[in-house]
Amino acid sequence: MPELPEVETVARGLSLRMEGKRLKTLDLHRPDLRRPMPTGLKALVEGRVILGIARRAKYVLMHLSDGGTLIVHLGMSGRMLLSDPGVPPTALEKHDHVVFTLEDGTVVRFNDARRFGLLDYAAPGQLADHRVFEGLGPEPLGNEFSGPVLAEALAGKSTPLKAALLDQRVVAGIGNIYACESLYYAGLSPRRIAATVTAARAEKLAQAIRDVLTKAIAAGGSSLRDYVQTSGELGYFQHQWAVYGKEGEPCPGCDCDKAIQRIVQSGRSTFYCAKRQR
């Protein structure tokens, strides 16, 4: 599933081509994705100017000129693909479930083979209270995120640290890949009890999270199976992974003789160095 860096990359790509332009038509080729499309969605958004495109957690937000907001979640396999104005549109593919056409001829196709994605709407003034944002933690790249904030969110949690980082109420947008990578650079074991991460440990982990996410965004995210940028290009951060997917390979940061290990936590693969991470 695309995580924060992939969604941020998509939002930035859409922003360059969609901001300041009027949404001429929104074509819905099925009534639902993960959830039913909002009732009357076409009438709510067609003819509005897209004032800005941003990201919250793993959601793309399209802010419209009447104060409403289109909310897009890529799910597990979603892609947002742009076509240039003036270029004859290609035939729709099987899983092009939503098509945005702008007044200048730009076309954006939301392709989602597994249909775990989401297209929703927040009325003017209601975005903060929308159900998908209830209880979300701070943005890890925002000013509100810090070591003390992270320590407070982890306080009292008896779950393993890796599982706590995947809890979107602790910090928004981090998934399996970037939790593994951040813990590696912070030198913290994914098995460690979350509540033990306080003071200097929490500050080191918060900084590792910021650094890993920033580098991943600069590389266009990580491409595994389905994720591509809005241009159709792959992300490249998978070539910079220190531990994720590297079971049995030498640890890049120490001389341990056990190499990178893989365990399963809450049904997800965790990769780490048992010597470096304590």
Active-site residue, 140 included: no
DSSP string, 57-80: TTEEEEEETTS-EEEEE-TTTEEE
Out of 2, 5, 140, 160, the active site residue is: 2
The 3-state DSSP class for residue 9 equals helix
In whole angstroms, what is the distance from residue 14 CA to residue 231 CA?
Answer: 9
Indicate if 58 belongs to the active site: yes
What angle do the packed helices 199-218 and 4-18 form, to 10 degrees? 40
Where would I find the beta strands (DSSP E) of the chain?
A: 23-28, 50-56, 59-64, 69-73, 78-83, 96-102, 107-112, 118-122, 261-265, 268-272
Cα 275 from Cα 187, distance rounded (Å) = 9
| Active-site option among 157, 204, 262, 268 | 268
34 catalytic, yes or no? no
Q: Which of these is catalytic: 3, 6, 8, 181?
A: 3
User: Does 3 qualify as catalytic in the annotation?
Assistant: yes
DSSP-derived pairing of the beta strands 96-102 and 23-28: antiparallel
**Which of 48, 55, 58, 246 is labelled catalytic?**
58
Residues known to be catalytic: 2-3, 58, 268
